[in-house]
Structure 1
């Protein structure tokens, strides 16, 4: 099965552009160049040697496929890349290539650099999603719709509150990714067993120099076998996919034919079916959901792979590579497709009103029960009032008439509530509680982050 056949669907968006083989090779070369320059600044190697090494740290000079094929020799691609780099520099500089470092230093640092670029691209799509959600929340602050509990109609909410809840979850995930990008993307430089003994007294100076040149954090200790950075990033990517999947799932449910409260208006040729001409599928939301659903297994793989032996793992490090790459890719795809879905989304307030009225006021039964307790000054307790209203609801469901008529005819209810008051209590617009205030709070949070 060719990856390219499915990449446009499951590896879509700008993040994937930063995850190709050449991007990884360039990131490894960036480490080698920074190591050489920091070593020269510390006086460990000649400046001319650093110049010669940096000049050759361009991925365009190297056969990426050949490096990958040769990786089986030592079990990773850093070794053949270092050999190729050494062969390209001047004879005087050759002995200074990769000085004091180990293969894991190269690949772990490259992982952090690639992650930084990927998260930057991801942030652009996340911000666009947040902007769309904020627009929906503000526009539909007062658009009343049926709430759903266990996929059944429940008391009313607003579509603005629904969008605000989506926004809140996405902002939480975005904040976590930004925190990790600022604080936890660290250079790896420890040498053979994490002591930097090969660099003598200059080890910490060179470590600081490499971190500074690459724009990465300087770790307290080498993290060859302490993999919390990887698991934290994995968890944050998983959290992001969960936030995306929740929104995408809600959109697909609201777009069902029987519900019809939202739909995607894509360009011609999108949303159709190979066999059913009438279909209007929310295809972008479907692809967001499909991409995001891959994340939990990948996160689990990375948590399992985090158990590394002593100073260098025997297989666990290698087990990280593919799931980590795939997790970055699938998260990027999920967020890209969510952005596409939100940009295409059309909201149908009239349909929401129709669905609100489907049950003839049954979804406002809670409001009647609460008011009954208050109006009776406690003569009817919460459970007793609930039982009375429940009996009326069951009568309405059984075909005994309109709920308002049944409630008004019940002697226990009529003793405390007039028919006019019952009609007020069964009006959806009057029972949205603090929905508008919650929307305002979510929008204020978003505005604070977007400035």
Structure 2
């Protein structure tokens, strides 16, 4: 991702715009036919001194000014007169950025696909691995670990779909000349614009969008959402790797996850890296909203702020996905510890199951009262809830010992979990097959 948004790629995107513009204008006889190949032959970023262009951009105010000058100097003969014909700096910079974004989105989709595949593997392998579902950081009810992984899978699937849609629908050519009228091209402006959009495989909006940045902010918002999802998934892993929990572990490797002072530690370094990058990405995504306040037809400040924010946002979003995908692909799941953690409350996580079993006979409110009282007794006397319920006359009259024992089987009270896992896996399988 750093390469996609690096100096050379930035110049190459701008040069691709200039070459495409010359081809479009040549095809429409706006400039001589032999001008296009002469210009395109020099549209190679490796031909230019990036450091020199960078220094000169400080005086010019943007990269396009020194780049166009350097390109013009390299083009031979009369063709040099037609470099950048009818365009303005923002046309070059914005369109070049759109070309970079297209490649960047594809990279993110690839990384998210690897992450989703890892989640699908976990969901399928652990559809019958019971663990405790937590509510407000407290033990709630039993659930299969596969359902948690299926939730991660669906989130990743949604992120891929979102980015793919934006890549196909939102990337747009910027070409409007000085203030969006293309007056320098006379009546040929709209035709050239449409031809150029086709050449670069970008959408041609009805009007130039110099200071209307909704397209760009929609893309960066999607990256912020993606980074937020990575933060959540990585956060789950961090919490499950706590010593007191110990339900999953990132894959071990020499030198990975250790401490400089505590030899026994196994740190969640992949999740930590993902979270650190995600938090920074989300901050930049939020900052992009502030850049939308752009004045009249060409902006001062907001547009320039994007130049750093967008590349950094793409790099940081990628950095939130890659280490997490690696961690999930080799995630070690301790099913025995998950089962043991279910038992640390002495059966209290099965209180709802007991209540719902009694409710048809005595009503939900009465069942809630009976089980709640039993829970209080179990806590006070440090006894298992099953044993306390077995001594209650109301319960004993309706549930024999076998029925009571069955209530405390974790996979016996997971509702539609299997269906939910199957649906997430089926949707992902259909998506990958179609792709």
* TM-score, with structure 2 as normaliser: 0.97
Counterpart position of 2:192: 206
Alignment partners' CA distance in 1, 2:331 and 2:52: 46
The CA deviation string for residues 11-32 of structure 1, in whole angstroms up to 9 with x for no partner, is xxxx222111111000000000
- Structure 2 gaps of 5+ residues are none
The reply to whether residue 268 of structure 1 matches residue 254 of structure 2 is: yes
SS at match of 1:256: coil
How far apart are residue 400 of structure 1 and its match?
Answer: 4.5
The SS at the match of 2:381 is coil
Report the Cα distance in structure 2 between the residues aligned to 1:17 and 1:92, rounded to whole angstroms. 35
| 1:365-395 Cα distance to aligned partner (Å, 9 max, x none) | 011111111132x3xxx23322321221122
1:425 matched to 2:407: yes
- By how many angstroms is 1:196 displaced? 1.1
Q: Which moved more, 1:208-217 or 1:166-175?
A: 208-217
- C-alpha distance in 1 between matches for 2:130 and 2:67: 60
Q: 1:7 matched to which residue of 2?
A: none
Map 1:237-252 onto structure 2 (within 5 A): 237-252=223-238
Match of 1:6 in 2: none
User: Is 2:169 the counterpart of 1:183?
Assistant: yes
Report matched runs for 1:141-290 at 5 Å: 141-290=127-276
Of 233, 254, 278, 1:292 maps to 278
Cα gap change, 1:400 to 1:315, in 2 (>3 Å): closer
Which of the numbers 413, 417, 442 marks the counterpart of 2:424?
Answer: 442
C-alpha deviation, 1:91, in angstroms: 3.8
- Which residue number in structure 2 is paired with residue 8 of structure 1? none
Q: Does 1:81 align with 2:67?
A: yes
CA distance in 2, matches of 1:189, 1:257: 57
Corresponding residue number in structure 1 for 2:50 = 64
Distance in 2 separating the partners of 1:241 and 1:417: 49
Helix, strand or coil at the partner of 1:398:
helix
| C-alpha RMSD of the superposition | 1.3
Q: Distance in 1 between matches of 2:322 and 2:191?
A: 41
SS at match of 1:224: coil
The residue aligned with 1:385 is 367
Q: Which runs of structure 1 show a deviation greater than 3 angstroms over 4 or more consecutive aligned residues? A: none
Superposition deviation, residue 204 in structure 1: 1.7
Could you say which residue in structure 2 is the equivalent of 1:117?
103
The DSSP-based 3-state class of the residue aligned with 2:141 is strand
| Alpha-carbon displacement from aligned partner over 1:338-368 (angstroms, at most 9, x marks no partner) | 1111122111111111111222211010111
Aligned equivalents of 2:170, 2:199: Cα separation in 1: 16
In structure 2, what is the Cα distance between the partners aligned to 1:109 and 1:17?
18
Instruction: Tell me which residue corresponds to 2:395.
Output: 413
Verify the 8 A CA contact 2:87 2:178 in the aligned structure 1. Answer: yes
Q: 3-state SS of the aligned residue for 1:146?
A: strand
Matched with 2:294 is 308
CA deviations 1:225-245 (Å, max 9, x no partner) are 111111100111011111111
Structure 1 unpaired stretches of 5+: 1-14
Count of aligned pairs between the two proteins:
433
What SS does the aligned partner of 2:299 have?
coil
- 2:376 pairs, out of 394, 399, 404, with 394
Distance in structure 1 (CA, Å) of the matches to 2:93 and 2:370: 68
